[in-house]
Amino acid sequence: MSITIRMIGTGSAFAKNYFNNNALVTCGDYTLMIDFGITAPLAMHRLNVPLDVIDGVLVTHLHADHIGGFEELMLRLKFDYNKKPALFIEERLVAPLWNYSLRGGLEFGAGGRQTLDDFFRVVPFRAGVPQTVAPGVRLELLPTRHFPDMPSFAVVINDNLFYSGDTVFDPKLIQAAQDRGCEYLLHECQLEGQGLFHATLDELLTLPETVQRKIWLMHYGDNMEQFADKAGAMTFMRQHETYAFPPSVEAK
């Protein structure tokens, strides 16, 4: 089944011209949000997209540009919309998400003490084990290497689209995604500097052209336009744009 992805943001953690790299994924009548960072509430507001369109949220890891908007999301869905979406999250991240990132602002609310289960229908994942979460929507988490000792994950959607989350350059991960049948590789891209925690453009350019043609770049810095013609056979995704996979007209 085809899906659409609307990039509510395409920026790196510290980008100011671009919102945090978060995405709305729609398949049929189901809408999945991948991450919900600090700027996500404003991005949704600017796009005139109400929060209650979200049926489920997937968390790739616990950095603020990926979860920093959760407090507003959770409070508004619960108290403004009376909606309890699914939370798709690797099992090791469930307790830290609540205890270290959310509990301080959300535990004490209307009606007494709250828990994560008061806001979400929590659906724990185990990396490498796919789950069908809605008709036509199948997700699988793959571990990434981002910060040492910090669990972080990419997601494969419907066995043909790979969304990297945050990761250092990892050709084995890219190959694993292709081995699973992924024809579309949505990959983060650090434009300059050494790739200590993120894949750099220079590193991605070392991939064969046949692989580059599958790659759509995201999670980049404010100077992206300076690199628009320096990405080889890869394509930069654009903030607020909606992309269909498979594309109705091949873009590459």
Contact 130, 155 (CB under 8 A): no
Is the pLDDT at 250 greater than 60, yes or no? no
Domain 3-245 listed as CATH 3.60.15.10? yes
Tell me the whole-structure pTM to 2 decimals: 0.96
Q: Mean of the pLDDT values across residues 207-218?
A: 98
- Report pLDDT digits (tens) over 48-78: 999 999 999 999 999 999 999 999 999 999 9
* pLDDT-based confidence at residue 110 (cuts at 50, 70, 90): low
- Report pLDDT digits (tens) over 79-91: 999 999 999 999 9
Q: Which residues, listed in sequence order, are joined to residue 243 by a DSSP beta bridge?
A: 5
The pLDDT value recorded for residue 247 is 87
Is the pLDDT at 131 greater than 90, yes or no? yes
Measured in whole angstroms, how far is the alpha carbon of residue 180 from the centre of its chain? Answer: 19
Q: Mean of the pLDDT values across residues 184-191?
A: 98
**pLDDT, mean over the chain:** 96
Contact 56, 33 (CB under 8 A): yes
Contact 87, 120 (CB under 8 A): yes
Q: Mean of the pLDDT values across residues 7-19?
A: 97
Is the pLDDT at 143 greater than 90, yes or no? yes
Q: Mean of the pLDDT values across residues 220-230?
A: 98
- Report pLDDT digits (tens) over 29-55: 999 999 999 999 999 999 999 999 999
* pLDDT-based confidence at residue 101 (cuts at 50, 70, 90): very high
- Alpha-helical (H) ranges within the chain are 40-46, 64-67, 70-79, 94-96, 103-106, 116-119, 171-179, 201-204, 209-212
